[in-house]
Chain A
């Protein structure tokens, strides 16, 4: 699009700014991503395949998928329910609820993990009660799930609250006046109106659930083949100077990031107006 001349920045400044932005992106994003790939493949693709199919690595992949497959649906349901309540109804304590939903974003992940150790660890509030019933939470899968749920629960709700607030209640009221039940209204009117927002939130939630390190690290106990998720496995391998294996597993995470980015861009490109309601 041609701008009137007096409105456009001088050509040179424009090029300079674009150049700086590209150089910065290259340095901060593409260089590290490239380095991961180069390191991962430095001993050839055979070594890469061996590293990612090694039993502990496979166990880490399985565990990561398991944790995400529990945490993401939970946060999907919670996020939709919370956004529905917040955006469509007036009630006391609404502002507090919104603040609480945002809380995990402002708390350091390490602290989030420690909270669960404090609650469910051997010395924690419920530690004895749990131990006497042989229930393991910390240093076991339930702890990983709890920490991941906590850290990732804002993603879906944050995406949906502004969107649903903007859409208002009119279409739902129209459905009710036409004889639809609350449940029919939700499935046929509310949900279709927010579907791409939901997808977008789930995508970001999933990326974080699979990539989370801090909170999960505190509650995991780092038992290889048992409680190591992919990010933790990368750290363990790296600390053992097993760089090729570490970067091979890391390259899987980088691949996940790229897929997320592609899907995200696609959603933004096709359904930008619906998603633009956020923030």
Chain B
């Protein structure tokens, strides 16, 4: 059974500084349950920081993060029910593909953890989803970059998160693999029906993939809209970034 749950995400007036440097200034953003949202902006605009605040990997200096209306600002990443996909895969090199994907299930408390056979079933179901059946016993360094990122995606989905966060997941891959993975990701998003937030600085990718796009510049959200709406946007800064 692939279909899971989705949750809405609300970011309320979040600010975050690194020493004296403001990475996010009073950022607010609402993402509906089941929506595919892209965060688009030039390098250093705060996309990663915003995603990490949503994930719980970074604590904001002020402001709140709500999942389905529940305040999770102080909830640790491990308890937020999210999946996170990193730019450089961050697969566990000393574990097989099977162990990587099963990791999130293996670390569950004993009374919540599914039995071994069920974990194995879940792993092969996920491998099928990312089209890498039969790779259970390999190690990450025996896979290509595109394959690794598929595994990272499968691993992030193992615990049926209601929110999937992706930080430039295809940034390290060549154009052809990017296109393949892009459509694979969109398909998976529809199949599972979770909320996806996708960071990129490639506007073609953002517009081709997302239901809505948020455009960031120097730690602020400049504009949020559907791809079609944004193409006709009047905002000068946004226009200059799109062309």
- Pair from one complex: yes
A96: interface (CB < 8 Å): no
Set B79, B90, B159: member contacting A174, Cβ < 8 A: B90
**CA gap between A174 and B52 in the complex, in Å:** 12
Report the minimal beta-carbon distance from B205 to chain A, rounded to whole angstroms: 22
Contact status B77-A176, CB under 8 Å: yes
Residues of B within 8 A of A181 (CB): 78, 107
Nearest opposing residue in chain A for B80, CB measure: A177
Contact status A179-B79, CB under 8 Å: yes
Chain A residues within 8 Å of chain B by Cβ, number = 16
**CA gap between A136 and B20 in the complex, in Å:** 52
B194: interface (CB < 8 Å): no
Secondary structure dominating the interface of A: helix
Cβ < 8 Å to B, chain A residues 150-200: 170-171, 173-181, 184, 188-189, 192-193
Interface mask (B69-93 → A, CB under 8 Å = 1, otherwise 0): 0000000111100111010101111
Contact status B82-A177, CB under 8 Å: yes
A178-B103 contact, Cβ under 8 Å, with A173-B57, A173-B84: yes
Contact status B76-A178, CB under 8 Å: no
Contact status A179-B57, CB under 8 Å: no
Contact status A178-B94, CB under 8 Å: no
B63: interface (CB < 8 Å): no
A178-B156 contact, Cβ under 8 Å, with A188-B107, A192-B94, A193-B93: yes
**Which residues of B come within 8 Å of A, CB atoms?**
55-57, 76-79, 82-84, 86, 88, 90-94, 103-104, 107-108, 152, 155-156, 158-159
CB<8 Å pairs between A and B, sample of 25: A170-B86, A170-B88, A171-B92, A171-B93, A173-B57, A173-B90, A174-B84, A174-B86, A174-B92, A175-B107, A176-B77, A176-B78, A177-B56, A177-B78, A177-B82, A177-B84, A178-B83, A178-B155, A178-B156, A178-B159, A179-B104, A180-B78, A180-B107, A184-B107, A188-B107
